[in-house]
Amino acid sequence: MDVPAKVHVRTTINGQPQEFLVPPYMSLLDTIREIAGLTGTKEGCLDGNCGACTVNVDGRIVDSCLVLGAEVDGKNVTTVEGLATRDGLHPLQQAFLEEAALQCGICTPGFLVAAKGLLDNEPKPDEGRIRHWLAGNLCRCTGYDKIVRAVQKAAAAT
Amino acid sequence: MVSTFEPKSDYKVIGTRPIRHDGLDKVTGRAVYGADIKLPGLLWAVVVRSPHAHALVKSVDTSAAEAMDGVYAVMTGADIPKHDDKVVDLGEGATNLKWAADNIMADEKVVYQGHAVAAVAATDRYLAEVAADAIKVEYEVLPNATNVRDALAPDAPVILEDLVGDDLGEEVRNTNMASHFRHEFGDVEGGFAKADHVLEREYSMQMVHQGYIEPHNATAIWDQEDRIKIWTSTQGAFPVRTQTAGILQMPESRLKVTPLEIGGGFGGKIPIYLEPICAILSKKSGGRPVKGIMERKSVFEASGPAPGGVLTVKLGATNDGKLVAAETDMKLEAGGYPGAAVGAAAMCVFSCYDIPNTRIDGWDVVVNKPKSAAYRAPGSPQAAYAMESAVDELCEQAGFDKMQFRVDNAAKEGTRRGDGVIFPRIGMEEVLEATKATDHWKSDIGEPSKPGNKRGRGIASGYWFNVGLKSSVNLALNNDGTVELVEGSTDIGGTRASISMQAAEVLGIAAEDVRPTVVDTDTVGYTDVTGGSRTTYATGYAAWKAANSMVEELTKRAALLWDIDEDGVQFEDGVFSSKADSELQISFKDLAGKLNDTGGPVNTTGSVDLEAAGGAFGTHICDLEIDPDTGKTDVVRYTVIQDVGKAIHPSYVEGQLQGGAAQGIGWALNEEYFMNDAGSMTNSSYLDYRMPTSLDLPEIETEIVEVPNPIHPFGVRGVGEVPICPPIPAVANAIEDALGVRIYETPMNAGRIIAALEENGD
Amino acid sequence: MHPFAYVAPKTVDEAVAVLEKHGERARPIAGGTDLLVQARGGRFDLDAVVDIKKIPELVSIKNDDSGLEFGAAVPCYQLYENPELSAEYPGLMDAASLIGGIQIQSRAGLGGNLCNSTPSGDGICPLIVHYGTAVIAGPSGRRELPVEDFCTGPGRNDLKQGEMLVSLKFPKPSSTFGAAYERFIPRNEMDIAVAGVAASVELDSGGNIAKARVALCAVGPTPILAEAAGAALVGKSADDEAAIEAAGAAAAEAASPISDMRGTVEQRKHLVDVLTKRMVKKAVERARS
């Protein structure tokens, strides 16, 4: 089998410059997990319907299973590992803990990155807006109630 | 002898809401789930699956795949050891190894679309996919039967030639009926003869999936000394060991199973799928680690969903609103191998009511669909849909008040369950009283948000018996007074916290001072699955025992320290003291610092094997708004009321109630296995399977009722499963209230609502 | 998934050259939200994907007095977050804001939706009722095609070997133009249309309907321009209930749906009737505001 040559990618992940060779057909999800070694971003469906693999690319949230690793050359990627700083957890992370907004936790990284994408642009969303924004992220454990409360709490705290 | 306990109310830790111990790892992305494990030299497995629902496997040609660079191993069904009938107990449910082995990978015959027929291991996942595509399988397609009506028809294709069915004790061959059983009590015909109102209805349900977001995964090493190591996301590491060892015909002691974090299960991650495949591929590739992740389509097509089926319910009541007789016939889909949850359905179907004369017929029917598995109160939601819809319709027919009828006929201590069990202290009556007291019940339903839309309210109740089973906990005391808690229960939704809190309560320390770790099968005593709503109940009980042993041991140490008799030492609120001399006091933490002077380390264990568990009941109130022109249905208000015995961590109890309700709402309105004539599921993606999103649900209100379970030290009843039982009938009853039409088939989607309205002439 | 190469040309000509060379075995990637799913699902084997987002023309939006033109790779959010467009092109905004969820809208666009050519594509019918034109580049130069003629079957379209969609063009709507798109889905987001209807109207000075279009989604092998439904409205008062009823009936008549896991023939025809009436009224309301 002829395997096409790898693509040279220079990108920034969670503020750190990164440089690697990525198979041209490899998803950004696998690039982050298998090449960059950041397994906080989760695989759920590989067709853009669950949001577990949500990451932020240049200020927009995307499903990383539907982006090629080769496409992030020159771009700025943030994953769940990039939310906390040396000063502590992001208010969303703290609120998710306090509000018991996770059960199994597999969808949590995607929800956190997605919710951060909302609060970065709209600091005070109402419940309807939060539910609309997060509709691309499936959670099967919580019924969403505590997730929505946690996002509201984080919004109020910032 | 079952111990009983007096309820208390002055807890220090129980009933509080500490941050869960594993929370930080899970909000930072550090938690290691099954798919996250990395091992040197890792290979990736990809499974080849049948596109046909029912077919003979004529040949499998793996030569092209084997010839590819980077491909280390290829396997087919012929590599799975052959088995005779042998049933192994998995805690919640049992499995027959013969069928279980065939389900892992078919050799001669596939019995559902997605059934595994071959697998490859290669250096990366993409290459493994290409190699899997190169495996050529030749099939002879057979006629299929994907539902109980087709499978029981006289001309139905026989799916398992060697199945011997059990029809009320009679052996039956050439059948798809694995079993037909009956529970009968009282005088059913006599009861109906006395009834002034009799109603009989039939309900159909489609198969549904648990829908956990994390796909199945496994990583295995089978080394040259015939030791097998497995890392996987599972509800129970020990049952994985039992099943894998059984299928591979290896002693359990040769296997070590490490449970990694699990991304949802709801019963679906009790069976195994990839573990034996990865192990065999590892052996064939010289002991390299092999990892497999099931793609989402295969999770739908080839893991273990919840059965659909056909259920009839017949009810008889007298003019004074008392149920006098009930009868049901429940035929559920087992999937490709026997084992639908119809036995559990029979235990639940009439359980919310006190009915003197009952007959229950249950049928386990093999169909060309994936082998069904547990899904949150397996069998009970199906039974509840039929029973609670029929109760509402009986009330409509006879003019009874739907709430009062439920109160007047509520099950209570001494009520005989439909399968003969006599209820101990239960909380059905308290739940109904609490339901009447909710703001939701007392509030008007409100005006529709758009002109032309209709609103309706439904209520329904549900029951799950809960299980106890085996659990083990080890405690080790650190010299700063913190405690390491080692357990075998995998944590799907906060049980590290709920178990640690029970130990902390006994030890008089903070929840945060107990540090829980979920470990592998070599490192803790046998522990059954996280399932059956048993974990907080049974593993918590084991933690309580281990903590009491620790207090007992520390009592000896205090006695030694003070040179007094141990009977003279008491322990209260985290402080050991002398009964005789109030000057002699030492806190738990200070005593922990003196272990070296008093005999060394303090490690204790607790283990349980609990036969009884104490069942639980819930009632839900559902308000819907429906657009009668399109059938579009939105849940506008929803409240869950449930007896939980004692809420150890109320936030996670609420979470269970909310999550179960959300799944039930999805099941009621949109979720289904949509099968075409070829026996294929045509909606095997999250796009078309249509689970609720955040925009499809309102706030889910919860009302926790606490009727302490007398056989648990803290009064705990299982919590997780009851909440999925009432939503389906609550939605059905709300649709009827809104539109005046009743839907007798799930999902009760827009198309069925429109069709029912048209049939009704609206 | 067949392993493919990744190329990111800077010009349309370069992209066309790659597409021509590989024929069926190369496809442009814009948002990738359909392409990668289909490649992964084995619907086609590709030797190359051509990332068209580095071609300036493909990612630009031009809106002036002559009308609107946006590149085939412009993602949904760039349309609906543009306040200038949302007032003038309401049907396009309806579509752009309901395709997928927020994550999908960051990448997916109406150009890709059109090229995917699925009958249930939410983005296509709104293009039709806005009188959209597809600008196509190929080995023999450029050509333009009305959007309603673009799709030729489920997943099939008029693009020939080496051709690609460059942009979509729309005439500037008059001040009395209104359009709307709605689909029926069982959920509230993240779902695929059981049936969808786009409608547009242009009112004359007397308040009557001067021009009207109705286009139907997910009820035939391609999106359907239901000409009889539009004709039933032209010349009628915008409040003429009988005309709106007639448009609904004509649209339902034009629909030729199948029964599948998303809905039945009867349900879909019924929905087309209901949605047509609703969309015409909404378009009229927007035309007046």
Q: What is the pLDDT of residues B526-569, one digit of tens each?
A: 999 999 999 999 999 999 999 999 999 999 999 999 999 999 99
Residues of B marked as catalytic = 721
pLDDT, residue B623, reads 98
The values of phi and psi at residue C91, to 5°, are -65, -40
Q: What residue numbers bound the domain in which A115 lies?
A: 91-157
SS3 B92: coil
Select from B21, B46, B649, B694 the residue whose CB has the most chain A CBs within 10 Å, as the one to mutate to test that interface.
Answer: B694
User: Does any CB of chain A come closer than 8 Å to the CB of residue B512?
Assistant: no
Topology given in CATH for the domain delimited by C177-288: Enolase-like; domain 1 (3.30.390)
User: Does any CB of chain A come closer than 8 Å to the CB of residue B36?
Assistant: yes
Chain B to chain C Cβ contacts (< 8 Å)? 58
**B91 pLDDT tier (thresholds 50, 70, 90):** low
Helix axes C265-288, C241-254, angle to 10 degrees: 140
- Tell me what percent of chain B is helix, strand and coil, each rounded to the nearest 5: 30, 25, 45
* Residue whose pair of structure tokens reads 């639980």 in the numeric block: B616
pLDDT, residue B51, reads 98
**C229 pLDDT tier (thresholds 50, 70, 90):** very high
CB < 8 Å to C36, chain B: none
Task: Please provide the DSSP assignment of C169-183 as one string.
Answer: EEEPPPTTEEEEEEE
Is residue A1 assigned to a domain?
Answer: no
Which residues does B184 contact at the CB level (< 8 Å), separation at least 6?
Answer: B358, B359, B360
Calculated CA dihedral for residues A129, A133, A135, A139, nearest 10 degrees: -100
Residue of A nearest to C100 (CA): A136
Q: Given an 8 Å threshold on Cβ–Cβ distance, is A100 in contact with B694?
A: no
Residue of B nearest to C267 (CA): B751
Residue B92 has pLDDT above 60, yes or no: no
Is residue A139 assigned to a domain?
Answer: yes
Which residues 295-354 on chain B approach chain A with CB closer than 8 angstroms?
295-296
Domain extents in chain C: 5-54, 56-171, 177-288
Q: Given an 8 Å threshold on Cβ–Cβ distance, is C107 in contact with A67?
A: yes
Whether residues A77 and A36 fall in one domain: yes
Whether residues A112 and A151 fall in one domain: yes
Q: Which two tokens stand for residue B643?
A: 């007896």
pLDDT, residue C87, reads 87
pLDDT, residue B90, reads 63
Q: Give me the mean pLDDT over the B389-416 stretch.
A: 98
Domain extents in chain B: 23-31+467-610
Q: Given an 8 Å threshold on Cβ–Cβ distance, is A141 in contact with B655?
A: yes
Whether residues A33 and A100 fall in one domain: no
Contact B502, B537 (CB under 8 A): no
Q: Give me the mean pLDDT over the B226-253 stretch.
A: 97
The values of phi and psi at residue B644, to 5°, are -110, 5
**Alpha-carbon distance C191 to nearest alpha carbon in chain B (angstroms):** 6
Which residues does C51 contact at the CB level (< 8 Å), separation at least 6?
Answer: A68, A70, A71, C6, C7, C8, C9, C28, C29
Q: Give me the mean pLDDT over the B17-38 stretch.
A: 98
Instruction: Using alpha carbons, select from C51, C45, C39 the residue that is nearest to residue C24.
Output: C45
Q: Given an 8 Å threshold on Cβ–Cβ distance, is C186 in contact with B630?
A: no
Is residue A2 assigned to a domain?
Answer: no
Q: Which residues of chain A have pLDDT under 50?
A: none
Residue C93 has pLDDT above 90, yes or no: yes
A57, A82, A107 - which closes a domain: A82
- Tell me what percent of chain C is helix, strand and coil, each rounded to the nearest 5: 40, 25, 35
Residue in A100, A136, A148 closest to B655 by CB: A100
User: Does any CB of chain A come closer than 8 Å to the CB of residue B211?
Assistant: yes
Contact B65, B132 (CB under 8 A): yes
**Alpha-carbon distance A15 to nearest alpha carbon in chain B (angstroms):** 16
**Alpha-carbon distance B340 to nearest alpha carbon in chain C (angstroms):** 25
Residue of C nearest to B757 (CA): C267
Q: Given an 8 Å threshold on Cβ–Cβ distance, is A114 in contact with C36?
A: no
Chain A to chain C Cβ contacts (< 8 Å)? 92
Longest dimension (CA), chain C: 61
Whether residues A96 and A77 fall in one domain: no
Is-cis flag, bond preceding B747, omega within 30?
yes
Task: Please provide the DSSP assignment of B453-506 as one string.
Answer: -EEEEEEEEEEE----EEEEEEEEE-TTS-EEEEE----SSSHHHHHHHHHHHH
- Which stretches within B489-635 are classed as H helix? 495-507, 540-562, 588-592, 595-598
The domain spanning residue A147 has which CATH number?
A: 1.10.150.120
**Alpha-carbon distance A86 to nearest alpha carbon in chain B (angstroms):** 13
Contact C42, A75 (CB under 8 A): no
User: Does any CB of chain A come closer than 8 Å to the CB of residue B513?
Assistant: no
Which residues 270-329 on chain B approach chain C with CB closer than 8 angstroms?
297
Q: Which two tokens stand for residue A61?
A: 């949230």
Q: Which two tokens stand for residue C126?
A: 């709104």
Q: Given an 8 Å threshold on Cβ–Cβ distance, is C262 in contact with B688?
A: yes
* Residue whose pair of structure tokens reads 């249905």 in the numeric block: B633
Q: Give me the mean pLDDT over the B733-759 stretch.
A: 97
Q: Given an 8 Å threshold on Cβ–Cβ distance, is C184 in contact with B632?
A: yes
Q: Given an 8 Å threshold on Cβ–Cβ distance, is C3 in contact with B670?
A: no
Residue of B nearest to A84 (CA): B28
CB < 8 Å to A2, chain C: 3
Q: What is the pLDDT of residues C215-227, one digit of tens each?
A: 999 999 999 999 9
Residue of C nearest to A52 (CA): C103
User: One-letter amino acid identity for B229?
Assistant: K
Residue in B27, B31, B649 closest to A96 by CB: B27
Q: Does 3.40.50.2300 match the CATH number of domain C5-54?
A: no
What is this model's ipTM? 0.98
Select from A25, A122, A134 the residue whose CB has the most chain C CBs within 10 Å, as the one to mutate to test that interface.
Answer: A25
Residue B93 has pLDDT above 70, yes or no: no
Residue in A45, A102, A142 closest to B26 by CB: A102
Is residue A153 assigned to a domain?
Answer: yes
User: One-letter amino acid identity for B517?
Assistant: T
- In Å, how far from its chain's centre is CA B243? 18
Q: Give me the mean pLDDT over the B365-385 stretch.
A: 98
Length of chain B measured in residues: 762
SS3 C68: strand
CB-hemisphere CA count at 13 Å for A71? 26
The CATH classification of domain C56-171, taken from the options 3.30.465.10, 1.20.1530.20, 3.90.180.10, 3.30.70.20:
3.30.465.10
Whether residues A95 and A119 fall in one domain: yes
Q: What is the pLDDT of residues B508-525, one digit of tens each?
A: 999 999 999 999 999 999
Chain A to chain B Cβ contacts (< 8 Å)? 184
Residue in B69, B263, B697 closest to A143 by CB: B697
Which residues 85-104 on chain C approach chain B with CB closer than 8 angstroms?
101
Whether residues A19 and A60 fall in one domain: yes
Q: Which two tokens stand for residue A102?
A: 């996770």
pLDDT, residue B435, reads 98
Q: Given an 8 Å threshold on Cβ–Cβ distance, is B751 in contact with C1?
A: no
CB-hemisphere CA count at 13 Å for B22? 27
A59, A82, A105 - which closes a domain: A82
The strand pairing partners of A20, in sequence order, are: A9
| Buried/exposed C177-200: b ≥16 CB within 10 Å, e otherwise | bbbbbbbbbbbbbbbbbbbbbbbb
Whether residues A75 and A18 fall in one domain: yes
CB-hemisphere CA count at 13 Å for C205? 0
The domain spanning residue A29 has which CATH number?
A: 3.10.20.30
User: One-letter amino acid identity for C64?
Assistant: D
Topology given in CATH for the domain delimited by B23-31+467-610: Aldehyde Oxidoreductase; domain 4 (3.30.365)
Other Cβ atoms less than 10 A from the Cβ of C246: the count is: 18
Residue B12 has pLDDT above 90, yes or no: yes
Residue of C nearest to B132 (CA): C1
Q: Given an 8 Å threshold on Cβ–Cβ distance, is A145 in contact with B695?
A: no
Is residue A103 assigned to a domain?
Answer: yes
Please return the burial class of B161, using the count of CB atoms within 10 Å of its CB with bins 0-12, 13-18 and 19+: exposed
pTM of the model: 0.98
Interface of C with A (CB under 8 A): 1-6, 8, 29, 31-33, 36-37, 40-41, 47-49, 51, 53, 77, 100-104, 106-107, 188-190
Q: Which two tokens stand for residue B91?
A: 């805690």
Residue of B nearest to A24 (CA): B126
Tell me the Ramachandran region of residue C272: left when phi exceeds 0, alpha when psi lies from -120 to 50, beta otherwise: alpha
Alpha carbons B543 and B521: distance in angstroms, whole number? 18
pLDDT, residue B94, reads 65
Contact B216, B373 (CB under 8 A): no
Q: What is the pLDDT of residues B627-663, one digit of tens each?
A: 999 999 999 999 999 999 999 999 999 999 999 999 9
pLDDT, residue B1, reads 65
Contact A105, A62 (CB under 8 A): no
pLDDT, residue C2, reads 87
Contact B715, B645 (CB under 8 A): yes
Give the mean pLDDT of chain B: 96
The strand pairing partners of B633, in sequence order, are: B626
Q: Given an 8 Å threshold on Cβ–Cβ distance, is B755 in contact with C189?
A: no
User: Does any CB of chain B come closer than 8 Å to the CB of residue C192?
Assistant: yes
Select from B19, B20, B26 the residue whose CB has the most chain A CBs within 10 Å, as the one to mutate to test that interface.
Answer: B26
Residue B620 has pLDDT above 90, yes or no: yes
**Alpha-carbon distance C76 to nearest alpha carbon in chain A (angstroms):** 12
CB-hemisphere CA count at 13 Å for C90? 23
pLDDT, residue B97, reads 86
User: Does any CB of chain A come closer than 8 Å to the CB of residue B466?
Assistant: no
Which residues does B231 contact at the CB level (< 8 Å), separation at least 6?
Answer: B34, B37, B218, B219, B220, B257, B258, B260
Tell me whether strands B585-587 and C48-51 are parallel, antiparallel or unpaired.
unpaired
A65, A82, A99 - which closes a domain: A82
Q: Given an 8 Å threshold on Cβ–Cβ distance, is C29 in contact with A68?
A: yes
